[in-house]
Chain A
Amino acid sequence: MVFVTGIGIISAIGKNVSETLSSLLESRTGIGKIHHLQTIHANNFVAGEVKYSLQELENLAGLKNSNYNRTTLLSLLATQEALLSAGIEDITTHRTGFISASSVGGMCHTELLYEDFLEDKSPENFIDSHYTGAHATDVAKHFGISDYVTTISTACSSAANAIMLGARLINNNILDRVVVGGTDALCKFTFNGFNTLMILDKEWCKPFDNNRKGLNLGEGAAYLVLESERVVKAENKKVLATLSGYGNANDAYHQTASSPDGQGAYAAIQKALQVANLSTDKINYVNAHGTGTANNDLSEATAMQNIFKQNIPPFSSTKSFTGHTLAAAAGIEAVISILSIQNKTIFPNLNCKTQMEDAVLFPVTNLQKNVEINHVLSNSFGFGGNCSSLIFSKN
């Protein structure tokens, strides 16, 4: 059994857990006009930006002249909050790891200097901070974590895999405690990439709506502190939730598109249920991947229908609050899933009005309070066919 003892988050809906919870309770989306990302598309699209400049993020972290890029600072801020929330003061008391996730790492910085590099103008060295795993090295070092540090990059499912790996490292008695999650900063590279795929909605995304037009990109970071049963007992720690199940599978259908029957998603959910030793009727809420693209939502809906049959639990996509934060998404949604359990609340899927014609399900669209939530399923899928599901349970 693996216990969640700390959470930390920064996204478009707040710079910490309490701001995030307020936004969720007030159904206040963080998706809006683009202010920080320098792109010619800024006036034509909305995005879930973290509402701080690079300098402001550095100030928030209490740093000066750190030379950290946005990806690293987001990671550092969310990790800081997670460690604080877990009441960890001395990192060296247990075998501690840091497992992060990112899709493009330092691209937000690289793309600003690449033109000078191409024109042979010898800009400052940006290659060392470009590497996707570089932020993990820096953040782990900042907090003195050294027993195991690695980064997972499986596109939009990355943080789910980081969380899963952390649990397995504890279950295999390799670590006692591990900070797990992911980070991604908005950048022109990703923005233009998704734009060329023509899956960006220019207005607020409408996950699971029949008239959905695509996703809104977001940015942020979120981390959980996972601890072993031994540590939790020895230190009499407050437990926020347990990570009871996890599953990873590959759709093996197409490099970017999900299969129409949601085979990979189905397999990931089924494996997570198996690990948690739960039947489908025990799941009280599903925090869906729900990007708002025609392809993902249909594939995920089909997988859910196949898994849950007639009894589909209440579900919602909170990407309508945060935007799709790519490699950080499963971290952010893990924190939201745990907030759901703690507050007995299902946060709504915003902007969904019309049921999908080709599916029988419809998400929760209004805040639901006083719901007994014992088990939450959180789904994440990505390019490369990567599908991952996690189950968080009430302790």
Chain B
Amino acid sequence: MAIYINGTGCISHQNTIDVADFFENAQVACQQRLVAQEPDYKNYVPANMFRRMSHVIKMGVAAAKISLQQAEIENVDAIITGTGLGCFEDTDKFLRAIIENDEQLLTPTSFIQSTHNTVAGQIALLIKCHNYNFTYTQQGLSFESALIDAKMFLNENKNSNILVGGLDEAIQPYFDLLLQAGEIKKQEDIIVEIENNKTKGFCLGEGASFFVLSNEKHKNTKAEIKGIKTFTSLKDGGDLQNKLSLFLQELNLSVNDISLVLSGNSGDVEDDKILNETNRNIFSQTNIAYFKNLCGEYFTASAFALWLASAIIEKQEIPTALVNKPTQGLLIKNILILNQYRNSEYSFMCISSC
């Protein structure tokens, strides 16, 4: 059963809001922390709700609204979100208040908004959606969990529209925590070509990417999601390559059918080993592009990759910021997203033209 992407909304480190600018002004920024370019939120969020919203809530609600506008619908049959970190700005605020005030004279706002399901709940409130509402949190597979649920939901409920999204924030205290834990790449080690890294660590990114999915095609349909698979305990590179062959087989695709691979290298020399080996062994003749130098590494960066794949298929154009060689005239039929998070969680997504 086909799953069509009928609307998308993305807030990221790049200008992904203005669809006319398709990475023409992309910045591959050599920074440890890649914060999002934010839109004028007043276009998407009522002022009375806006005031209390934290960074990730604003990004999430706005990206959701943009995707609904694109799909030309006002309500949905399900809202499913994935977030690895949850609402950390509010969590940090409330934790600080507990510590600074010795558990006294606290106010509830940041506690109320600290739960992982806040964004899904706020979207439901905003569009008055009483339907199915789920929030997943499984580190680097949080968005994939939401997408797997969406796929099942469409199988169970024909003719429905689903809003599914992945979102995470890179606020300062979280960045500081990762820095202290030694996970962030040293400034002097950051290089533009993420795949050629020889050092440990990654650059932290953030963003919110939402999709309106349906079994039904729409005049604004951008692409089709052909398949998704996740893995948590890989033995080695060979194991991933076997799993990838099986995945393509199940979709009746061969390696030659893949027009582009979006490879989730984080820039960490150790964590990227298996992906690099797979790309070398299986995709030596295929266009490979890397996306985490555009959006940074975060738990739901794969949602950014899905947004990117969907946009590339719709426009039939691979931005030059992504590939070194010219790809004009290339028919872009199938895009494969290979993602990894900390070399412990892997996922495959296949997105096709339709």
Give the Cβ gap from B222 to chain A, nearest Cβ, in Å: 26
A122 interfacial contact with B, CB 8 Å: yes
Question: Would you call B20 an interface residue if the criterion is a C-beta within 8 Å of the partner chain's C-beta atoms?
Answer: no
A110 to B233, CA, bound (A): 26
Tell yes or no: B114 within 8 A of A by CB: yes
Contact across chains for A385 and B136 when beta carbons are under 8 A apart: no
A255 at the interface (CB under 8 A from B): yes
Nearest Cβ on chain A to B74's Cβ, whole angstroms: 13
Q: Is A118 located at the chain interface by the 8 A CB criterion?
A: yes
Select the stretch in A13-21, A67-75, A132-140, A368-376 that faces chain B.
A132-140
From B111, B118, B135, A197 is in contact (CB under 8 Å) with B111
Bound Cα distance A85, B124 (Å): 39
CB pair A192–B233 under 8 Å, yes or no, is: no
Query: Interface segment, A46-54, A151-159, A281-289, A358-366?
Result: A151-159
Asked if B99 and A118 make an inter-chain contact with CB atoms under 8 angstroms apart, the answer reads yes
Q: With a CB–CB cut-off of 8 A, which chain B residues contact A111?
A: 95, 98
Cβ of A189 under 8 Å from chain B: yes
Assuming the contacts A133-B137, A385-B121, asked whether A252 and B128 have C-beta atoms less than 8 A apart, the reply is yes
Q: How many residues of A contact B (CB 8 A)?
A: 62
Report whether A151 and B137 are in contact in the complex, using a CB–CB cutoff of 8 Å: yes
Chain A residues 228-266 with CB under 8 Å of chain B are: 248-256, 263-264
- B121 pairs with A384, CB closer than 8 A: yes
Q: A255 and B95: CB pair below 8 A?
A: no
Judged by a CB distance under 8 angstroms, whether B94 is at the interface is yes
Residues in chain B near residue A256, CB distance under 8 A: 112
Scan residues 52-69 of chain B and give those whose CB is less than 8 A from a CB of chain A: none
Q: Which chain A residues in 139-183 approach chain B with CB under 8 Å? A: 140-141, 146, 148-155, 161, 165, 168-169, 172, 174
Contact A249 B117 (CB under 8 A): no
Chain B interface: which of A3-11, A123-131, A302-310? A123-131
> Which of B11-19, B177-185, B275-283 participates in binding chain A?
B177-185
- Interface size of B as a range: 35 or more
Interface string of B82-121 (1 = CB under 8 A from A): 0011100001001110110011101110011111111011
Shortest B27–chain A CB gap in Å is 28
Q: Which residues of A lie under 8 Å from residue B115 when comparing CB positions?
A: 103, 153, 155, 382-384
Chain B residues contacting A248 (CB-CB under 8 Å) are 132-134
B318 shortest CB reach to chain A, Å: 32
A23 CB to closest chain B CB (Å) equals 29
- A192 and B103 contact, Cβ closer than 8 Å, known pairs A132-B116, A197-B108, A252-B125: yes
Indicate if B158 sits at the interface (CB-CB under 8 A).
Answer: no
Is the CB–CB distance between A151 and B99 below 8 Å? Answer: no
B85: A residues at CB distance < 8 A: 131
Instruction: Bits for A187-206, please: 1 = Cβ < 8 Å to B, else 0.
Output: 01100110111000000000
Complex Cα–Cα for A14 and B344 (A): 35
**Residue numbers in B under 8 Å from A168 (CB-CB):** 152, 156
CB neighbours of A141 from chain B (8 A): 233
When A168-B156, A169-B152, A252-B129 are in contact, do A133 and B124 touch as well, CB less than 8 Å? no
Q: How far is the CA of A169 from the CA of B177 in the complex (A)?
A: 36
Interface residues of B in 118-165 (CB under 8 A from A): 118, 120-122, 124-125, 128-139, 141-142, 145, 148-149, 152, 155-156
Question: Do B121 and A148 have beta carbons less than 8 Å apart?
Answer: no
B70 at the interface (CB under 8 A from A): no
Determine whether the beta carbon of A40 is less than 8 Å from that of B133: no
CB closest residue in chain B, given A156: B115
Q: A104–B354 Cα gap in the complex (Å)?
A: 41
Contacts of B176 in A (CB 8 A): 117
Q: Which of B98, B113, B181 contacts A127 (CB 8 A)?
A: B181
Given contacts A133-B138, A151-B138, A250-B79, contact A127 B177 (CB under 8 A): yes
User: Interface on A for B, CB 8 Å cutoff?
Assistant: 39-41, 103, 105, 110-111, 114-115, 117-118, 122, 125, 127-128, 131-134, 136-137, 140-141, 146, 148-155, 161, 165, 168-169, 172, 174, 188-189, 192-193, 195-197, 248-256, 263-264, 267, 382-386
| New contact pairs (17) apart from A154-B134, A384-B133, A385-B121, CB-CB < 8 Å | A110-B95, A118-B96, A118-B99, A137-B138, A154-B116, A154-B135, A168-B156, A172-B156, A189-B98, A192-B94, A249-B131, A250-B131, A253-B125, A255-B125, A383-B117, A383-B121, A384-B120
- Would you list the 5 A-B pairs with minimal beta carbon distance, nearest first? A384-B121, A193-B111, A153-B116, A133-B138, A384-B117
Please list the residues of chain B having a beta carbon within 8 angstroms of any beta carbon in chain A. 79, 84-86, 91, 94-96, 98-99, 102-104, 106-108, 111-118, 120-122, 124-125, 128-139, 141-142, 145, 148-149, 152, 155-156, 176-178, 180-181, 230, 232-233, 344
List 6 interface pairs A-B (beta carbons < 8 Å), by A numbering.
A110-B95, A115-B99, A133-B139, A152-B135, A196-B108, A385-B121
